[in-house]
């Protein structure tokens, strides 16, 4: 079992702490601070802050996914969904913080590279919050010697158009399967959203609350319009690079869960999962990681860490342990290479209304990193 041993608070400007990645040695880990465009490295034993990758040199723009290899740090950028996402590659052994490569996905509709996973030169990214009708899994070739991302190996997309955007991702122990969390937003009428927006900010002037709601509604309308337009274009186009096309139908999925996809040594990903666990109640499963037979999953809506025993529950039917993080919103869940630590990051915001998805910064702030240690 894992218990909270220590927390690392954010002593700078408020920021979502999106993802965590350990170096293969286990001696340090990286954390992405999305709102301040930073990636910070921490010592695993002392929890001390070691260094920061930050702008202008690091060319970060809403960094989300992070991944440490033996010699490199990979960071994905979402650009607030304004252009295709990129993955920056840095030399982790160098004092320089400038990327040695900024790789942009060749798929124009894929905007947020949410999470990254690597095994034997196969770099797999989940893409969510896109202008297309669905998210996607994309595998790229990564050269461990040069630190270069090159060819697209494969793309799986259409299944997610009815099940929700892929979010977290990790390989199984053998490297033959991908565990993927997927999520959909609960479909709520504009009227209910308006009443909730007015109720959630009673300390603010009415005009301010209406303006905030209007901006959210406009952003959602623009995103839906781009998605619908993209679906029409794709319905009459040929697949780019001969990979799977997205579903041309623009639908609004309303499912959340965990899926298991097969992946071969060449990076080809199955078009449909071997199995998919769909949660009956509304939630938002964000990230996933596995050590040995224990699988950790975060649920941001219910503020939970879920632990599954894959020796007895390979279909993620029921967690054997749950931990509630109170007002903190757990996002990343990452095991150390030896499994002694489980590190959880928090978005730093409370959910004002879980169903309608209204969030707010709270006092005291909860943008922190939780260090959990194994008790046995």
Q: Write out pLDDT tens, residues 194-231.
A: 555 555 555 556 666 566 556 655 555 555 554 444 44
- Domain total of the chain: 1
- Read off the tokens for 358: 């209204």
Q: What is the pLDDT of residues 69-98, one digit of tens each?
A: 999 999 999 998 889 999 999 999 899 999
Position 164 scores a pLDDT of: 87
Both tokens of residue 128? 């969510």
Cα 16 from Cα 29, distance rounded (Å)? 17
Does position 249 have pLDDT exceeding 70, yes or no?
no
SS3 assignment, position 200: helix
Q: Is the CB of residue 20 less than 8 Å from the CB of residue 334?
A: yes
240 occurs within a structural domain: no
Q: Is 243 inside a domain boundary?
A: no
234 domain-assigned:
no
- Whether residue 85 is contained in a domain is answered as yes
Per-residue pLDDT of 297-348, as tens digits, reads 999 888 999 999 999 999 999 999 999 998 888 999 999 999 999 999 998 7
Number of other CB atoms surrounding residue 241 within 10 Å? 10
Asked which of 122-126, 156-160, 259-263, 364-368 is least confident by mean pLDDT, the reply is: 364-368
15-45 pLDDT per residue, tens? 999 999 999 999 999 999 999 999 999 999 9
CA distance 258 to 316: 7
| b/e map 320-330, b = 16+ CB within 10 Å | eeebebeebbb
Distance CA 120, CA 143 (A): 9
Nearest to residue 111, comparing CAs of 179, 165, 50? 165
- Nearest CA to 306 out of 324, 319, 289 is that of 319
Is pLDDT above 50 for 359? Answer: yes
Closest by alpha carbon to 21, among 54, 53, 44, 55? 44
Residue 233: predicted pLDDT: 41
More confident residue, 309 or 191: 309
Q: Which of 134, 97, 320, 124 is nearest to 227 (CA)?
A: 134
Phi and psi for 129 in degrees, rounded to 5? 55, 45
Q: pLDDT tens digits for 271-303? A: 999 999 998 787 889 999 999 999 999 998 889
Range of the domain at 307: 2-185+250-374
Residue 244 domain flag: no
DSSP string, 201-250: TTTS-HHHHHHHHHHHHHHHHHHHHHHHHHHHHHHTSPPGGG-PPPPSS-
**Lowest pLDDT segment from 106-120, 168-182, 357-371:** 357-371
In which band, very low, low, confident or very high, does the pLDDT at 236 lie, cut at 50, 70 and 90? Answer: very low
pLDDT tens digits, one per residue of 123-170: 999 999 877 667 899 999 999 999 999 999 999 998 998 888 999 999
132: domain CATH number? Answer: 2.130.10.10
Asked if the structure places residue 196 within a domain, the reply is no
Residue among 113, 93, 141, 123 at smallest CA distance from 32: 113
The pLDDT mean for the chain works out to 84
* Residue 345 falls inside a structural domain: yes
Q: Is residue 208 a part of any domain in this protein?
A: no
The structure's pTM equals 0.83
């Amino acid at each position: 079992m894992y218990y909270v041993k220590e927390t690392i608070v954010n002593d700078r400007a408020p920021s979502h702490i999106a993802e965590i990645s350990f170096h293969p040695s286990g001696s340090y880990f990286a954390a992405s601070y999305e709102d301040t465009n930073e990636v910070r490295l921490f010592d695993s034993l002392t929890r001390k802050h070691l260094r920061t990758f930050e702008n202008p040199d690091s060319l970060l723009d809403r960094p989300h996914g992070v991944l440490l290899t033996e010699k490199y740090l990979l960071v994905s950028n979402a650009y607030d969904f304004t252009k295709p996402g990129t993955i920056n590659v840095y030399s982790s052994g160098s004092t320089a913080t400038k990327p040695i490569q900024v790789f942009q996905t060749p798929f124009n509709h894929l905007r947020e590279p949410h999470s990254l996973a690597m095994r034997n030169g196969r770099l797999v990214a989940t893409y969510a919050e896109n202008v297309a009708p669905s998210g996607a899994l994309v595998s790229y070739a990564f050269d461990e010697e040069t630190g270069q991302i090159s060819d697209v190996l494969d793309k799986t997309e259409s299944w997610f158009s009815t099940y929700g955007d892929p979010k977290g991702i990790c390989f199984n122990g053998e490297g033959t399967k991908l565990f993927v969390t997927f999520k959909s937003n609960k479909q709520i009428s504009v009227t209910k959203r308006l009443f909730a927006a007015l109720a959630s900010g009673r300390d603010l002037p009415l005009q301010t609350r209406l303006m905030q709601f209007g901006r959210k509604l406009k952003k959602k309308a623009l995103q839906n319009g781009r998605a619908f337009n993209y679906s029409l274009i794709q319905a009459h186009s040929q697949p780019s690079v001969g990979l799977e096309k997205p579903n041309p139908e623009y639908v609004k999925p309303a499912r959340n869960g965990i899926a298991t996809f097969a992946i071969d040594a060449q990076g080809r990903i199955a078009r449909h999962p071997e199995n998919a666990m769909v949660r009956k109640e509304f939630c938002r499963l964000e990230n996933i990681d596995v050590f040995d037979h224990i699988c950790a999953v975060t649920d941001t809506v219910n503020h939970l860490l879920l632990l599954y025993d894959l020796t007895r529950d390979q279909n993620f039917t029921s967690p054997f342990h749950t931990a509630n993080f109170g007002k903190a919103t757990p996002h990343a869940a990452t095991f150390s290479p030896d499994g002694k630590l489980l590190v959880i990051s928090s978005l730093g915001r409370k959910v004002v209304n879980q169903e309608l998805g209204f969030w707010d910064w709270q006092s005291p702030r909860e943008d922190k990193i939780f260090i959990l240690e194994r008790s046995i």
